[in-house]
Structure 1
Amino acid sequence: MSNPQSMIKPSEFHLSGGRSGVLLIHGLTGTPTEMRFVGNGLHRAGFSVLGMQLAGHCGDEADLLATGWQDWYASVVEAADRLREQVDHLFVAGLSMGAVLALKLAIDRPREVDGLGLYGTTFFHDGWATPPIGRLAFLLPLLTSLGIGRRNSSAETEPYGIKDERIRNRIVGAMLSGDSQAAGLAGFPWPSLAELQRLSVHVRNRIGRVRAPCFVAHSSNDDVASLRNVRIIERGVRAPVESLLLDNSYHMVTVDQERGKVIEQSATFFQQIADRKPLDVPRGASMATAID
């Protein structure tokens, strides 16, 4: 049996705990650090945790541009394989694009994924602070395929998804200093936004295949992704959905002022599933990558 700690990437974190595990997936241009508060909280609640690193992330813009959504998803499957060998129940939670990737894994691996945590899910960039190019992101796959905007990038803007000014200043300071391992990139390359749109369409067209119970945490005042994104989940998945709407946070609910609620209710949600779900998948079962 492989040891996740021996295979861990520099920016990842693995916290050994009980026989229920949670895979944490960060967002586009982000890092595992944005999932660290949640990871620590779930670990204190008794879960094993793997905060993974998406392919092409935690480096420079060229590293990100060398990858697409299928590469990001392949790294999710690889990380899920590592954690699944160590646990009897596997839960998957993601922030922003990470939540979309979590849904993709649940679609492809319904027997291996026991439940989902979907935080600030972003199918569409349509929040109140989204710049015009974000709202027109659905056009980017076409534009970039025609060679338009391949060298363009959209800078992150205030309030950077974080309402808590102290945390915002700390994270933005690291991001603008170029510390991509700690805080991610300071902008969104258009080709990468185009890849997110391709992933979004892919998952939305298949969301009815989701059979894993979902815990959805989303800000009612999300500056990046409106509640439209929540409605897609609530109306689309074929499984129970428990929603938590937060009124004192922005997009980054895993680090913002109400992260304690996200942690507490995620732990309760996952534990209730683990307590009642029989073990019908052998420990160590493979989850080979499948991209339909």
Structure 2
Amino acid sequence: MHLQGAEPFLLAGGAHGVLLIHGFTGLPAELRLMGEHLHAQGFTVLAIRLAGHGTTVEDLSRMAHEDWMDSVRDGYAILSGICTRISVVGHSMGAVFAMLLSAEAETARVVSLCAPVMIAPEQGIEHLPTRAASVDRYVPKARRTLHNVPQGANNTYRRMPLISIHEMMDVIAVLRREIGRVTVPILIAHGARDHTADPRSADYLYEHVGSTQREKYILPDAGHLLPLEAGIRELVFARTAAFLLADAAQEREL
């Protein structure tokens, strides 16, 4: 049984596919508006559901970060059967997986939205108990009440498994080790008022990726939910589409 908004979605379009990856405890519905915008620009869009998300917190607690990465690989395989060119867009932890995918599979471009290479101090990550002490322990999560978004985008878990936070931190550590293998063109977007993923994460990525073509896009009035914030998301969608379409524009000029 899945929560409303947890369903993956596919929007059939052109030969350039875009794989959308949601964040930790998130849902595909959070990326629905972005997917529709990109689809209107001619892309084929597939938004996946990471294993253990959109079901129960107990289900999430049983997943390792490799299970999440396998969900990403499965989505890439599906999109590869439809499209001749694939780019990847990830939000929050999904951006971490987007970059890791680009290091192991053929991708055209990557867009990172608020990747948490560093956790914001407000989150108190230093107080996370040890892995052994985190088993079968949960912390409350505030109810989300965003307006003018797909209803499913508000259906996030009300608790988070502490063991899953360890898995998230582990995959962030993997990205730090592998960041130099990210060599495709990359757009690094981040909100300057992000209190979940430290905005310094954008600087770290810009300085450490192996990509020669890289762009940093800082939104001074934005927080963490770039795909959902009214007045912000439209800017992010437009910048993302322009970045993903850049190769096609260059080809027309040749």
User: In angstroms, what is the RMSD of aligned CA positions?
Assistant: 2.3
Task: Measure how far apart 1:244 and its partner are.
Answer: 1.4
Is the 2:22–2:94 Cα contact (8 Å) retained in structure 1?
A: yes
Match of 1:103 in 2: 99
Deviations 1:223-274 (A, max 9, x none): 1111221112101111121121112321010111210111111111111124
Corresponding position: 1:90 with 2:56: no
Match of 1:242 in 2: 215
Is the 2:69–2:97 Cα contact (8 Å) retained in structure 1?
A: yes
Secondary structure at the residue paired with 2:134? coil
Match of 2:242 among 237, 252, 268: 268
Q: Distance in 2 between matches of 1:243 and 1:89?
A: 23
Match of 1:197 among 151, 161, 169: 169
Is the 1:115–1:273 Cα contact (8 Å) retained in structure 2?
A: no
Q: Distance in 1 between matches of 2:243 and 2:17?
A: 13
Is the 1:89–1:274 Cα contact (8 Å) retained in structure 2?
A: no
Match of 2:224 among 227, 246, 251: 251
Q: Distance in 2 between matches of 1:121 and 1:253?
A: 11
Is the 2:38–2:241 Cα contact (8 Å) retained in structure 1?
A: yes
Q: Distance in 1 between matches of 2:14 and 2:87?
A: 13
Q: Distance in 2 between matches of 1:118 and 1:218?
A: 8
Identity across the alignment (%) = 27
- TM-score w.r.t. the length of structure 2 is 0.89
After TM superposition, list the pairs within 5 Å mapping 1:121-270 onto structure 2: 121-126=115-120, 130-132=122-124, 134-137=125-128, 143-144=130-131, 147-157=132-142, 166=147, 183-239=155-211, 240-257=213-230, 258-270=232-244
Q: Distance in 2 between matches of 1:114 and 1:184?
A: 31
Corresponding position: 1:34 with 2:19: no
- The one-letter amino acid paired with 1:217 is A
Secondary structure at the residue paired with 1:148? helix
Secondary structure at the residue paired with 2:50? coil
Deviations 1:147-177 (A, max 9, x none): 202122232349x6x9xx635xx78xx7xxx
Q: Distance in 2 between matches of 1:103 and 1:10?
A: 23
Deviations 1:56-77 (A, max 9, x none): 1110011111211000001100
Q: Distance in 2 between matches of 1:131 and 1:198?
A: 17
- The one-letter amino acid paired with 1:249 is A
Corresponding position: 1:118 with 2:99: no
Task: Measure how far apart 1:135 and its partner are.
Answer: 4.3
Secondary structure at the residue paired with 2:197? coil
Match of 2:15 in 1: 19
- TM-score w.r.t. the length of structure 1 is 0.78
Secondary structure at the residue paired with 2:216? strand
Q: Distance in 1 between matches of 2:207 and 2:190?
A: 16
Q: Distance in 1 between matches of 2:243 and 2:101?
A: 19
Q: Distance in 1 between matches of 2:56 and 2:147?
A: 26
Q: Structure 2 regions of 5+ residues with no counterpart?
A: none
Secondary structure at the residue paired with 1:205? helix
- The one-letter amino acid paired with 2:222 is S
Deviations 1:86-128 (A, max 9, x none): 112100011000000011101112xx1110010111123215x
Is the 2:12–2:43 Cα contact (8 Å) retained in structure 1?
A: yes
Is the 1:115–1:213 Cα contact (8 Å) retained in structure 2?
A: yes
Q: Distance in 1 between matches of 2:147 and 2:154?
A: 16
Task: Measure how far apart 1:192 and its partner are.
Answer: 0.4
Is the 2:123–2:196 Cα contact (8 Å) retained in structure 1?
A: no
Task: Measure how far apart 1:204 and its partner are.
Answer: 0.6
Residues 237-246 or 93-102, more deviating:
237-246
Deviations 1:24-74 (A, max 9, x none): 000111100111111010001110000111111110011111211000001
